[in-house]
Amino acid sequence: MNDIIRRNPGWTVAIALLAAAVVWLIVAPWSAGMEATFGRKQIFLNALFNGITLGALYFLVASGFTLIFGLMKNVNLAHGSLYLLGGYLGFEISEATGSWLFSFVVVFIAVAMLGVVLQYTVFRRMEGEDLRQTLVTIGISIVLADIMLWLWGGPSYQILTPDWLRGPVDLPLIAAVRDSGEVIYLRYPAVRIAILVASIALGVLMWLALNRTRIGMLIRAGVDDREMLAASGVRVQIIFMVVFAFGAGLAGIAGIVGGTFQSVVAGEDMRFLLASLVVVIVGGMGSILGAALGAVLIGLAEQLGSVYAPTYSVVFTFLIMALVLAFRPQGLMGR
Amino acid sequence: MSEQSLGGGGADGRRSLVARLNAGLRSLPPAYGVVGVLLLLMPLLANDFFLFQIFGWAFILGMIALSLMFLAGYGGMVSLAQMSIAALAGYMVAILGDSGATAISLGWPWWLYVPVAILVAAAFATFIGALAVRTEGIYTIMITLAFAAAFFYFTRQNYTIFNGYSGFSNVVPPRLFGVNWRSPVAFYYLSLGCAVLSYFAVVYVSRAPFGLALQGIRDNPRRMAALGFNVVAHRVAAYTFAAVIASVGGILLVWQNAQISPGTAGLPAVIDILVIAIVGGLVRPIGPFIGAFIYVLLRTFSPDVLEALALPGDRFKLIIGLGFLVVVYWSPDGVLGLWERWRSRRRRRRDPLMDRGSEP
Amino acid sequence: MSTLETRSLPPRSVSERLAAAGTANALELRGVTKRFGALAALVDVTITVKPGERRAVLGSNGAGKTTLFNCVTGDFLPTSGTIRLFGEDVTNFPPHERIRRGLRRTYQISLLFKGLSVIDNVYLACRGVSRGRFSLIRPRKGDPLLQSARELIEAVHLNDSAATRVSELSYGQQRQLEIALALAGAPRFVLFDEPAAGLSPKERAELVEILTNLPGHIGYIIIEHDMDVALRVAESVSMMHNGRIFKEGLPSEIENDPEVQELYLGGGGHG
């Protein structure tokens, strides 16, 4: 990091100034003049937080994808199907048991097991054949999508927020100042804040696990040199299976989150596969930090875009991707 | 097509074009001759539905899949953006020519909008190529898929140029030489002609310096750079070349359907082109057309077959997906690969002394 | 081998080249260092090779010889230092730009197009350094580049196998093809990376013959472990050890130098 700062002093100053400006925009109350030009601060804050929490959702899905591909070089284009399956299963289980949290547990296990099956039947057989893995997983996603369409049909399903997370929460940010001088703070849905906090915690845990534990080191070493790892007596395949299962399970529970934020409906598999792809292209393959950065960037672009430039919000996402590809093809945090 | 060595056959390099064409045609395997005659006489054998919906559609999808095969088979780059490029050309025809959306369509003459449509699509493809070729292998698939998605979402949301969700209707071919080119027989020959031209163009170019260089880059980009080739420039140029073929397919597509909408290049359609190219086989240019026929037949008739078997007719997507899975799992070279292996096994059984490896 | 001189489509006329050949050094490396993380593969390498000069770079495994070649061709960017080719600073040029200025290279492990025939391979090499790389027209029978390709194949004794697929060639034939690729177009300077590796004694003799009979204006650097071959085809020698050049001189001097003998010849050293 210090290296980068030392080598690009101009960029660093520019980004620091930009960051300071953004922080000021968020924290300080807006004058009437500002509100006239930018619209109400409340709308801005809402869009901002929607973007960040959507980014949290994208991070959950994309981090599983980047783990599986970036670390294990396994291309799994059925990742979106895992997401959607998690959503549908989450709906069924939370409806049947009435417990939102319990569905997380069950879905994680179920989708992780499906991930293990995938890993065993597909990726182990086609070790190193990137294109073939891609094609097989595309085929699997087509088949899974149609089966899910058969079972659950076209309508969208909404996973209900549990009672203890329902309703808004007051955030210590100034949304507006009334003429009387009374300050109104931002009220934001509690469930989204909860998911945001949980995603950050999960991201930190994953980063620590990969970079600061022995198992993480083994995983990273195993990717670089499988023969060495196998020769040193460690059960390579079991480690990889665990990582794959974890990544798959993550995608599944992301489905529950998405089903709560938005809804579960046919076609979301493609949408979230694409989101994972774009996030990983922007953030860089194999990097948890990159996935987080890319996810927040894309989430913000989508939400801020849909509020301030609705016709072209989609374009912003792909514009960011095109810019990254043009100037830093390995991704922002990629090597 | 038999492997022609560099420099062509014959003693004198300055033979007439006709003489060379004759030699080329004579070098084709006899099966091609039979198929060729059959195709030419098809309107006498098949009904209008078959000519227009089955053959026409198969030729169109075959051409778009051929553009994918060119990039993947000869260039080693699997591009999922070909359908979008084709659709862009189709959109341009609707926007620059005549359509039901009179507020947008410019009403240009056909000899202007057809080349411009191809140019615009080729420019788009060059842009995508420039961004996609600096990364390796699997990333190309991901990036082109993302661009295909971007195109879909953009055309669906933009109303000023692309007329958003509804797209364009009443897009028909111009009435040239007093012929309604959208009538089944005429359209059949039009699409057959374009398909044949694009097929032979690909075969020819594959042994021209451009095509050879592309294959060299596929096999060993480092070596090609060390021989003086600008690898990136060649790869991007391949995208441009493939786009021309895809564009023609796209123009025929919009004329066949008489309409175009965002769904034409939606993700299911994009994946279908990949399925067609893979199932047919990426090694030879005839593969995409074989794949297209299989796809079109499955797509058109499996709902009926399913219902005859008392299964839900909507599940044809499942059939196609399962078929694709089976092919990729057991025969990554597609149907052609299966055919080659079966042939070489039969040859070996017949005369083990004469066994020669199959052609590249 | 006079046919090699009248190569088609050189970047400049022969007279211009010969004139320039007298004025600039063919290859000039100044202070070239290449680090891979903590590993320094090349340290402050300075080499000057005159046009037409034949130099051998010797050293044990891991001394940095192949890394040197990779920096010169442009596969790697040096961490620091400059590289000049015929007086032009090519330090930041991509590989294909250097090749188009007359540089060529062979590889330790043949990098050939296994699926294509011998004539296709050589034709591609000839194409790479001339115009018409993007040509969509197939070459006719009398195409000048095809002619050059055929002459080149003759020069390396591969006439009978011109239409054979490379995957079906013997190892020795593949190495010969590797050399043919390096001599395509109008090479001015060639990097030969262990051309004698794996060759039989007869094939080695052929290799020496090909190398010594190259036209006078083509200079080269040869990396070789076979001292016999190396000292017979070189007029000067640079010794590398641990990424540095530690001695330069005539073959006879190097052969008898005690330091060299201890480190490399006698001691059977390791990197």
pLDDT band at B4 (very low <50, low <70, confident <90, very high): very low
Structure ipTM: 0.81
Query: Which of B172, B147, B165, B154 lies closest to B83 in space, CA to CA?
Result: B147
What torsion, rounded to 10 degrees, do the Cα atoms B7, B12, B13, B16 define? -130
Chain B residues in contact with A314 by the CB 8 A cut-off are: 150, 153-154, 157
Q: What is residue A316's predicted lDDT score, i.e. its pLDDT?
A: 82
Element (H, E) at B196: helix B184-206
Q: CB within 8 A of C67, min separation 6: which ones?
A: C34, C41, C42, C76, C243
Q: Could B209 and C75 be called an inter-chain contact, meaning their C-beta atoms sit closer than 8 Å?
A: no
Q: Which residue of B has its CA nearest to C114?
A: B219
Q: Could B132 and A325 be called an inter-chain contact, meaning their C-beta atoms sit closer than 8 Å?
A: yes
Angstroms from A80 CA to nearest CA on chain B: 13
Whether residue C244 has pLDDT greater than 90: no
Distance between CA atoms of residues C50 and C236, nearest Å: 11
Average pLDDT over residues B273-285: 90
DSSP B327-347: HHHH-TTHHHHHHHHHHHHHH
The residue type of C85 is: L
Q: Write the pLDDT tens digit of every residue in B328-355.
A: 887 767 776 766 676 777 666 554 454 4
Q: Could A318 and B312 be called an inter-chain contact, meaning their C-beta atoms sit closer than 8 Å?
A: no
Q: Where are the beta strands (DSSP E) in B119-230?
A: 168-169
Angstroms from C262 CA to nearest CA on chain B: 36
Contact B246, B126 (CB under 8 A): no
Chain B residues in contact with A325 by the CB 8 A cut-off are: 131-132, 134-135, 143
Judged by 3 or more CB pairs under 8 A, whether A touches C is no
Chain B residues in contact with C191 by the CB 8 A cut-off are: none
Q: Could B209 and C111 be called an inter-chain contact, meaning their C-beta atoms sit closer than 8 Å?
A: no
Q: Write the pLDDT tens digit of every residue in A43-94.
A: 888 888 889 999 999 999 998 888 887 767 777 889 999 999 999 999 999 8
Q: Which residues of chain A have pLDDT under 70?
A: 1-8, 29-39, 71, 128, 175-181, 222-234, 335
Q: What is residue A7's predicted lDDT score, i.e. its pLDDT?
A: 63
The residue type of C123 is: Y
Question: Which tokens in the block code for residue C152?
Answer: 């080149």
* Cβ atoms within 10 Å, residue A81: 29
- A partners (3+ CB pairs within 8 A) are B
Answer whether residue B5 is part of any domain.
no
Average pLDDT over residues B308-335: 79
- Chosen for mutation from B69, B124, B136, B141 (greatest number of chain A CBs closer than 10 Å) is B141
Chain C residues in contact with B12 by the CB 8 A cut-off are: 141
Chain B residues in contact with C115 by the CB 8 A cut-off are: 215, 219, 360
Distance between CA atoms of residues B96 and B114, nearest Å: 9
Residue whose structure tokens are 């050939």: C112
Distance between CA atoms of residues C4 and C187, nearest Å: 9
A270 touches chain B (CB under 8 A): yes
Query: Which of C129, C156, C144, C128 lies closest to C214 in space, CA to CA?
Result: C156
Q: Which residue of C has its CA nearest to B217?
A: C113
Chain C residues in contact with B220 by the CB 8 A cut-off are: 111-113
The residue type of C179 is: I
Average pLDDT, chain C: 82
Q: Could A274 and B143 be called an inter-chain contact, meaning their C-beta atoms sit closer than 8 Å?
A: no
Query: Which of B210, B201, B188 lies closest to B60 in space, CA to CA?
Result: B188
Q: What's the Rg (C-alpha) of chain A? A: 21
Average pLDDT, chain B: 84
Contact A291, A207 (CB under 8 A): no
Percent of chain B with pLDDT over 70: 87
Whether residue B114 has pLDDT greater than 90: yes
Which CATH topology does C2-265 take?
Rossmann fold (3.40.50)
Q: CA angle, corner A58, sides to B267 and A268, nearest 5?
A: 35
Answer whether residue B306 is part of any domain.
yes
Q: What is residue A38's predicted lDDT score, i.e. its pLDDT?
A: 62
- B partners (3+ CB pairs within 8 A) are A, C
Distance of CA A193 to the CA centre of its chain: 15
Sorted by where each begins, the domain ranges of chain C are 2-265
- Chain C 183-202, residues with CB within 8 Å of chain B CB atoms: 184-185
Cα separations in angstroms, B144 against A322, B35, B181, B239, B260 = 11, 35, 33, 11, 21
Q: Which residues pair with C35 in a beta bridge?
A: C40
C142 touches chain B (CB under 8 A): yes
Of the partner residues C73, C116, C119, the one whose CB lies closest to the CB of residue B226: C73
A62 touches chain B (CB under 8 A): no
- C partners (3+ CB pairs within 8 A) are B
Of the partner residues B209, B210, B225, the one whose CB lies closest to the CB of residue C96: B225
Q: What is residue A73's predicted lDDT score, i.e. its pLDDT?
A: 73
Angstroms from C189 CA to nearest CA on chain B: 13
Q: Write the pLDDT tens digit of every residue in C93-132.
A: 999 999 988 899 998 888 888 878 888 889 888 888 888 7
Q: Could C128 and B227 be called an inter-chain contact, meaning their C-beta atoms sit closer than 8 Å?
A: yes
Answer whether residue B48 is part of any domain.
no
Ordered structural domains, chain A, with CATH: 50-327 (1.10.3470)
Q: What is residue B2's predicted lDDT score, i.e. its pLDDT?
A: 33
pLDDT band at B164 (very low <50, low <70, confident <90, very high): confident
| Coil/strand/helix, residue C159 | helix
Whether residue C39 has pLDDT greater than 60: yes
Q: Which residue of B has its CA nearest to A306?
A: B157
Q: What is residue A59's predicted lDDT score, i.e. its pLDDT?
A: 93
Q: What is residue C265's predicted lDDT score, i.e. its pLDDT?
A: 58
Of the partner residues B134, B157, B312, the one whose CB lies closest to the CB of residue A314: B157
- Chain A 163-192, residues with CB within 8 Å of chain B CB atoms: none
Q: Which domain holds residue B70?
A: 59-354
Query: Which of C244, C224, C246 lies closest to C234 in space, CA to CA?
Result: C224
Q: Where are the alpha helices (DSSP H) in C28-143?
A: 65-73, 95-99, 118-128
Distance between CA atoms of residues C5 and A326, nearest Å: 43
Q: Could B227 and C184 be called an inter-chain contact, meaning their C-beta atoms sit closer than 8 Å?
A: yes
Q: Which residue of B has its CA nearest to A269?
A: B267
Question: Which tokens in the block code for residue A45?
Answer: 């804050």
Q: What is residue A56's predicted lDDT score, i.e. its pLDDT?
A: 93
Total number of domains constituting chain B: 1
Q: What is residue C116's predicted lDDT score, i.e. its pLDDT?
A: 83
Contact B65, B130 (CB under 8 A): no
A323 touches chain B (CB under 8 A): no
* Cβ atoms within 10 Å, residue B37: 10
Question: Which tokens in the block code for residue B213?
Answer: 């260089």
Contact B70, B212 (CB under 8 A): no
Q: Could B157 and A311 be called an inter-chain contact, meaning their C-beta atoms sit closer than 8 Å?
A: yes
Angstroms from A318 CA to nearest CA on chain B: 6
Whether residue B195 has pLDDT greater than 50: yes
C120 touches chain B (CB under 8 A): yes
CA dihedral sign, ordered B303, B308, B309, B312 = positive
Average pLDDT over residues C76-97: 89
Q: Write the pLDDT tens digit of every residue in B216-271.
A: 898 888 889 999 899 999 999 999 999 999 999 999 999 999 999 999 999 889 99
Q: Could C141 and B13 be called an inter-chain contact, meaning their C-beta atoms sit closer than 8 Å?
A: yes
Of the partner residues C95, C125, C140, the one whose CB lies closest to the CB of residue B13: C140
Answer whether residue B359 is part of any domain.
no
Contact A300, A55 (CB under 8 A): yes
Q: Write the pLDDT tens digit of every residue in B41-92.
A: 888 888 888 888 899 999 999 999 999 999 999 998 999 999 999 999 999 9
The residue type of B211 is: G
Does pTM surpass 0.90?
Answer: no
